[in-house]
Structure 1
């Protein structure tokens, strides 16, 4: 159980400054302080939360925000499909809780733990300790960011927006399995970057995810 917290701790450190950034941006969009932890608690997915804050207005365009959130979070369908085989034998309520807390980092840490320990089923004690550590850190840091936002101003000037990039680089290092396996990552990165540059909206998230999964499937089939 403590291993879940140990694995989550470096990611928690990355969550804190990024949560400050999101909270401060939300405050600059005139969101109330209580609305920020409510949003980040109900929708535990940083990318779509930044999109929602960017679209926030008075009155807020709820349909547009909902569609943008759905588009960005659609990758979770593919992520949950990769995790589902390890939920066999786990009750439906517990499985739904697992999927509720499944942000990108929780998903990566869970699969890495399964791989390193050759598990056939997700260790729930490990997962929930890890996931709740990240979840609570994210909610608290976004709330503090919203509270202190008017005082701090634009905290991107301190380089805090680089925190998530650093977190993902650490996660990728832990999942490294050789250059051949990393081809899928490179294809996903290239497709996402090109889509971001030439296609309006958040399609780059879905296209990058699908292209990476297709390459990973092809490499596995022709191993």
Structure 2
């Protein structure tokens, strides 16, 4: 009988997320410092908001004189996708959930934590537990908060880093999320992923990045619906 994973197993499985969050959140702390925020204010934002990459936009808006309400509405609009993460995980969870624990790990459902949870539920469902999910969620948040604080403290030293390293920080989060997302799929969904990537790549080349993101998502949705409602039904009812 498979033993459920513990909190410390979750911390161990979150190492890839933590190592990625540290440099990106460090860059956020530097950005916040450049806009006039202190290291403690950067830490406060990461503790109360925890909006990932959206925090870069928030500090820019607040520094430009925008109201806190406008900044809050902007973050909600950018991160509305997170509303779907909980129900998507709950659909795969068979155990009865403990409300206090669920509230804690659900608060930390970033893109990467969600993807890691999906991998665990799709590949090792019997070992999934809320304690494991707490380990992944809280350790990921801790690394983000720590990086934000350190970035604010050492912002004056950022110019000493090579330019290529500074540019690489922008790609760490999407690269990590993409690797987790692809790991959660099996071969049956490979054509959905390929369709989305091909359409996104062509749209980026012929149109622009914004169109590529939208059309890539739309193509993936349509490919998934076609697979479920056309191909799968034909296989079940030839």
Query: TM-score with structure 1 length normalisation?
Result: 0.81
1:54 counterpart residue number:
60
Shift of residue 129, structure 1, vs aligned partner = 0.9
Inter-CA distance 166–183: structure 2 relative to 1 (3 Å threshold): closer
Mark the CA change 1:155 to 1:165 in structure 2 (over 3 Å): closer, same or farther: farther
Secondary structure (helix, strand or coil) at the match of 2:23 reads helix
Which residue number corresponds to residue 117 of structure 1?
124
Closer/same/farther in 2, CA of residues 3 and 171 from structure 1, 3 Å limit: same
Q: 1-side partners of 2:109 and 2:162: how far apart?
A: 27
Q: What displacement does 1:147 show?
A: 1.2
1:29 to 25, 35, 39: 35
* Superposition pairs of residues 135-146 of structure 1, within 5 angstroms: 135-146=141-152
- 3-state SS of the aligned residue for 1:30? coil
Structure 1 spans left out of the alignment, 5+ residues:
none
Structure number with bigger Rg:
2
The CA deviation string for residues 53-107 of structure 1, in whole angstroms up to 9 with x for no partner, is 2323254421221121011110011222211222762133332223211111110
Distance 2:18 2:146 in 1: 11
Cα separation, partners in 2 of 1:189 and 1:35, compared to 1, 3 Å: farther
Which residue number in structure 1 is paired with residue 235 of structure 2? none
Secondary structure (helix, strand or coil) at the match of 2:154 reads helix
Aligned match of 1:98: 105
Q: Residue 52 and residue 9 in structure 1: after superposition, are their counterparts in 2 closer, same or farther (change >3 A)?
A: same
Alignment of 1:61-100 (within 5 A): 61-85=67-91, 86=93, 89-100=96-107
Cα contact 2:102–2:130 (8 A) shared by 1:
no
Whole-Å separation in 1 of the counterparts to 2:222 and 2:94: 23
Deviations 1:169-203 (A, max 9, x none): 4313422423224146537956996685469xxxx
Per the alignment, residue 193 of structure 2 pairs with 182
CA RMSD of aligned residues (A): 3.1
* C-alpha spacing 1:169/1:91, structure 2 compared with 1 (3 Å): closer
Aligned residue for 1:56, secondary structure, equals: helix
Tell me how far apart the structure 2 counterparts of residues 3 and 152 of structure 1 sit (CA, whole Å).
34
Structure 2 Cα separation of the partners of residues 35 and 192 of structure 1: 39
| More relative contact order, 1 or 2 (CA 8 Å, 6+ apart) | 1
Q: Measure the CA separation in 1 of the matches of 2:62 and 2:223.
A: 36
Aligned length: 217
Q: CA deviation at 1:109?
A: 0.5
Runs of 4+ in 1 over 3 A off after TM superposition: 153-156, 187-199, 207-218
TM normalised by structure 2 equals: 0.76
